[in-house]
Structure 1
Amino acid sequence: MSKKSTIKVEEVNNQIVNWLKSYAETSKVNGFVVGVSGGVDSAVTSTLCAQTGLQVLCVEMPIHQHQSHVSRAQEHIAQLKKRFSNVSSIHTDLTTVFEAFKKEVPTNFEENKLNLTLANTRARLRMTTLYYHAGVHGLLVAGTGNKVEDFGVGFYTKYGDGGVDLSPIADLMKSDVFALAAYLQVPESILTAQPSDGLFGDEKTDEQQLGASYDELEWAMLEDENNNSSENYSEREKEVFKIYKRLNNNNKHKMNPIPVCAINRN
């Protein structure tokens, strides 16, 4: 199920950059703020924003972060600032904030449920931080989610990394993001790293959390969109498709608009 991107990277790059610039100018803001994690999605998003020529603030927000994530993020930011004079950065360590929060809430719950809830709390602290920087600098928060994450399996935190002003790469599959990253000369350390959301203290990869690789999930997403029959699937394909459908169904609450109770006023 190895996936190869078919996008025309230069054309896609230019389209997104022009879209970002037009949206920012229409919104009458100074530019963009991007949370940089050391992953390929945030590296591509920040590089696209940088090409607009508008102000770009890259924010590091470690919370008990694995050192490999920190070093990759710092490498990317240093490279980006060297290439683009409109890029600046700030380091906001949220570890003490996170620990202070934990002291104020009960934590005597089942371990797996507690760990997942605290992981989501990390993402929501980061969202709050990005909007703080956006507010004081007159910037838009640029999302870093790709199509598989945002509209396939819902692999993001509601009101965490899902809380953004605009999503420049949300119509790109993960394979497209990697193709664009190579075109944009993102650091090799990021291109070869196993994707990970960085929300757990250990080096837990996205594939370990999801139960399937992004290549497999892209395949399943396209199969589902095309209403293809599962009759000729291999055992692994059947398993992956089942994983995709389970995640897609369970996370509809993230992808669909917030339900509103419509009052009958007649």
Structure 2
Amino acid sequence: MKTEKVINHIVNWLKDYATQAGVKGFVVGVSGGIDSAVTSTLCAKTGLEVLCLEMPIHQAPSQVSRALHHIDWMKTQYPNVQMTQVNLTQVFDSLIAALPSVDNEEDRFMSLANTRARLRMTSLYYFAALQGLLVAGTGNKVEDFGVGFYTKYGDGGVDLSPIADLMKSEVYTLAKFMGINEDIIKAAPTDGLWGDDRTDEDQIGASYDELEWAMRFVESESNPNPLDERQKQVLDIYNRMHQANKHKMVAIPVCEIPLDLKN
């Protein structure tokens, strides 16, 4: 990959899009992970206004410290970067208290995890509207179009996606080239939605390198080499997740009414 040219291409694309949209810049949720670090840095390179939001909800201290460390680093490199902290823990807890109880709390864990992402999306759009900014998405290609590993109308609710055509490995390549903090590069990827230390790999059952292989395998027209047992397992994980999450990747279905029923 021609890393520097890819970076320049994304930066120019971001700047052109914002200029045509008539906005001042971008707002990015910074989580302490590699994707948000790379996205926020690319936005900062445009020279336009960049607002970084750090939005903990019962967050692990290591995630918070990585996010703040990255934002501090960016502010020393780019004078157009600002930061706001919005602690959503109390908001989240209040919402839980207002919701009806269920017989088995385990049943609503996934729903509550996705609720965290949607509270963050709401906060991002609050500041976007307030300051004339676009919400920049942080999803990469294997997450957004491979396994659908994101929350619909949560981290999937964005105005534009600067790194959604990059595999996870390519995001790491950009991160190293741009000088992203080593603690972020070395940290195990996590969506940070559970209030514990579970990683993306723990949830998915496969690493991003394996998922990238599966995505390329599915997209290729042929593969003459026989698959080993692990490859078969990974391919099954990929296909199951892709099918289950396909509703996130396609346009919202619209019930079209036949003209003879409307006339």
TM-score (norm 1): 0.96
Say if 2:131 is the partner of 1:137.
yes
TM-superposed deviation, 1:219: 0.1
Say if 2:114 is the partner of 1:120.
yes
Matches of 1:231 and 1:105, distance apart in 2:
52
Q: Among 222, 241, 251, which residue is 1:257 paired with?
A: 251
TM-superposed deviation, 1:227: 3.7
Structure 1 unaligned blocks of 5 or more: 1-6
Identity of aligned residues (%): 61
Residue-by-residue CA offset, 1:67-112 (whole Å, 9 max, x unaligned): 1100000000000000000000000000000001001112315444
Which shows bigger deviation, 221-230 or 75-84? Answer: 221-230
Q: Among 181, 187, 190, which residue is 1:196 paired with?
A: 190
Distance 1:109 1:152, change over 3 A: farther
State the partner residue of 1:53.
47
Count of residue pairs brought into register by the alignment: 260
Matches of 2:161 and 2:224, distance apart in 1:
32
RMSD over equivalenced CA pairs, Å:
1.0
Which of structure 1's runs of 4+ aligned residues deviate more than 4 A?
none
State the partner residue of 1:85.
79
Structure 2 unaligned blocks of 5 or more: none
One-letter amino acid of the counterpart of residue 247, structure 2: H
Residue-by-residue CA offset, 1:124-174 (whole Å, 9 max, x unaligned): 000000000000000000000000000000000000000000000000000
State the partner residue of 2:207.
213
State the partner residue of 1:3.
none
What are the residue-to-residue correspondences of 1:1-266 with 2, within 5 Å? Answer: 7-229=1-223, 232-266=226-260
Distance 1:85 1:246, change over 3 A: same
Matches of 1:263 and 1:90, distance apart in 2:
46
One-letter amino acid of the counterpart of residue 223, structure 1: F
Matches of 2:116 and 2:148, distance apart in 1:
17
TM-score (norm 2): 0.97
